[in-house]
Homo-oligomer: A and B are copies of this chain.
Amino acid sequence: MEQNPLQLDKREMRKLGYQIIDQLVEHYSQLPNKSVFNSSSPEQLQLLLEESIPYEGSNYEIVLDQLNKNVLNHITFSSHPRFFAFVPSPSNFIGVVADLLAKGYNIFNGAWHESAGAAQIEKITIDWFRQIFGMPITAGGLFLSGGSMANLTASFLAKEIKLSNEEKHGTIYYSDQTHSSVFRALRMLGFQERQIRIIRSDHQFEINLEHLVQMIEKDKKDGMKPFLIVGNVGSTNTGSIDPICDLLQISKYYDLWLHVDGAIGAATILDDRIKHRLKSIGQVDSITFDPHKWWFQPYGIGGLLVKNITQLEKTFQLLPEYLDDSKTKGREINFYNYGPELSRPFRALKVWFSFQVFGLNAFKEAVQHGVNMARYCQQIVDNMPQWEIVSPAYTCIINFRYVPQGMTEAAINHINKQISQRIIESGWAMIRTTTLKCQRVLRLCPINPRVTREEIELTFHKLDKIAKDICKSNID
């Protein structure tokens, strides 16, 4: 082999790199004018995209052209200002170029001796979050690929610490508003459905404490071993916050691990109007937070903080013979000893870089804007005849629905689902439905810092028009 066959020359690398930067800058500035929703069927895509293995190469211009025409125009961008579904990911450009640096230098952030600089940045960045949440100096953590992995890692730690060899009798408690990743994580860890207690939530979609205590007491009487409570800071349906203070007292009283899933709402610690609800969060055993959601980073980065970092290291550490030379001493950290991954990309860089460039105060402002927008949405719905709020703006989400008079529940559910479909198909906004209190409702999460009051107003104007059009066509 004369030359690396997977290589471009310098001129080509630079040209392609610039071209993609130009394309991204254009995309970013044009995004608000683009359709939010772009999809396609497998059959259509099959016609557009060649499926056989490319044995021979092609010019990168041709491949990029194909990508632009046949892939990127079939993507619904969750960083679009009017993407209001699920949890949007309104990322920032500094985060993107930080990721480019991490990928371009191809940094392995697992072992201190291989990437001291990267390990130090992850350590510093994680420590910022420790301070933000008010956790003790014994606390620490790591970045993972997302909230699901953070919940999995925390649950495994809880099991190791609280349940050594007793897992058959271990029981877990969380509300019916908890994210499905927690259930999946527990199933992976070997727990059966019979060990998982889904506590009903109250009218504000917070865990019912009385029911929780009853279940714990009953399980103890039945010879079970209660060991883990998962509390929500920003539940998926409504953004509600479980009473962390009370959960902390209960978990201490019964000696249970308290994990907080703050994937959606942990960023509300930056909003003075809400942060009192998170007052005790610094004392819990572990916290999931999710930089690729309301901390404005590109996918995929989740974060985990644990109260006692030594426990995390003891639980996950690897000491095979081929890593003998990588053993740490003193304050060196091998991040592969903190979680389930060995090879790990340098995820921390985007958080570090964007915090440095914009400053935490700018992130505060951006989070507050999201809360403002959710509250503004609520205010608008409150003033719209024939519409009702089903869950108010606890944090960054509202649920609401169209309730024309004289219609059956089934018909109301159906029409709200239709409204969602129509607004999505129009390309204006991405608004999905969920089920709350047995009702199908529209759900809106306006956390993109680019979204304006005018866009919000226009969105509700359009929703109202769609709703009335549907009713009218049903009558006709």
A420 within 8 A of B: yes
CB atoms of B57 and A359 under 8 A apart: yes
Q: Which residues of B contact A51 (CB under 8 A)?
A: 124, 127
A460 within 8 A of B: no
**Which chain A residues in 396-429 approach chain B with CB under 8 Å?**
417, 420
Given A21-B21, A332-B42, also A89-B71 (CB < 8 A)? no
Nearest-CB distance from A400 to chain B (Å)?
15
A471 within 8 A of B: no
Q: Which residues of B contact A55 (CB under 8 A)?
A: 359-361
Q: Which residues of B contact A449 (CB under 8 A)?
A: 1, 4-7
Separation of A46 and B126 alpha carbons in the complex (Å): 15
Separation of A236 and B49 alpha carbons in the complex (Å): 37
CB atoms of B104 and A356 under 8 A apart: no
Nearest-CB distance from A108 to chain B (Å)?
5
Given A53-B131, A324-B433, also A299-B344 (CB < 8 A)? yes
Nearest-CB distance from A49 to chain B (Å)?
6
Nearest-neighbor residue (CB-CB) of A332 within chain B: B42
Nearest-CB distance from A91 to chain B (Å)?
5
> When each residue 179-196 of chain A gets 1 if its CB lies under 8 Å from chain B and 0 otherwise, what string results?
111001100111110000
Given A27-B104, A316-B184, also A356-B321 (CB < 8 A)? no
Tell me which of B184, B318, B359 contacts A318 (CB under 8 A). B184
CB atoms of A165 and B188 under 8 A apart: no
A267 within 8 A of B: no
A156 within 8 A of B: yes
CB atoms of A114 and B13 under 8 A apart: no
Separation of A17 and B78 alpha carbons in the complex (Å): 22
A103 within 8 A of B: yes
Nearest-neighbor residue (CB-CB) of A322 within chain B: B434
CB atoms of A40 and B96 under 8 A apart: no
A391 within 8 A of B: no
Q: Which residues of B contact A349 (CB under 8 A)?
A: 67
B-binding segment of A147-155, A248-256, A275-283 = A147-155
Q: Which residues of B contact A433 (CB under 8 A)?
A: 324-325
> When each residue 57-100 of chain A gets 1 if its CB lies under 8 Å from chain B and 0 otherwise, what string results?
11110010011001111111111000001100101111111011
Q: Which residues of B contact A368 (CB under 8 A)?
A: 1
Q: Which residues of B contact A58 (CB under 8 A)?
A: 356-357, 359
The total of chain A residues at the interface (CB under 8 A) is 161
Given A106-B298, A318-B184, also A354-B6 (CB < 8 A)? yes
Residue picked from A40, A45, A330, A356, most chain B C-beta under 10 Å: A356
Q: Which residues of B contact A417 (CB under 8 A)?
A: 325
Separation of A173 and B146 alpha carbons in the complex (Å): 31
CB atoms of A13 and B121 under 8 A apart: no
A24 within 8 A of B: yes
Given A105-B72, A299-B106, also A97-B344 (CB < 8 A)? no
Q: Which residues of B contact A434 (CB under 8 A)?
A: 321-322, 324
Q: Which residues of B contact A97 (CB under 8 A)?
A: 16-17, 20
Separation of A332 and B362 alpha carbons in the complex (Å): 40
Nearest-CB distance from A467 to chain B (Å)?
17
Tell me which of B21, B91, B132, B443 contacts A14 (CB under 8 A). B21
CB atoms of B106 and A53 under 8 A apart: no
CB atoms of A94 and B343 under 8 A apart: no
Nearest-CB distance from A374 to chain B (Å)?
14
Given A53-B132, A100-B96, A117-B72, also A340-B184 (CB < 8 A)? yes
CB atoms of A300 and B120 under 8 A apart: no
Separation of A345 and B105 alpha carbons in the complex (Å): 19
**Which chain A residues in 327-369 approach chain B with CB under 8 Å?**
330-332, 340-346, 349, 353-363, 365-366, 368-369
CB atoms of A105 and B168 under 8 A apart: no
A473 within 8 A of B: no
CB atoms of B345 and A145 under 8 A apart: yes
5 more CB-based (< 8 A) A-B contacts, given A42-B332, A79-B106, A156-B188:
A16-B93, A49-B120, A106-B299, A184-B318, A299-B346
What are the 3 A-B residue pairs with the smallest beta carbon separation, nearest first? Answer: A190-B190, A17-B21, A74-B117
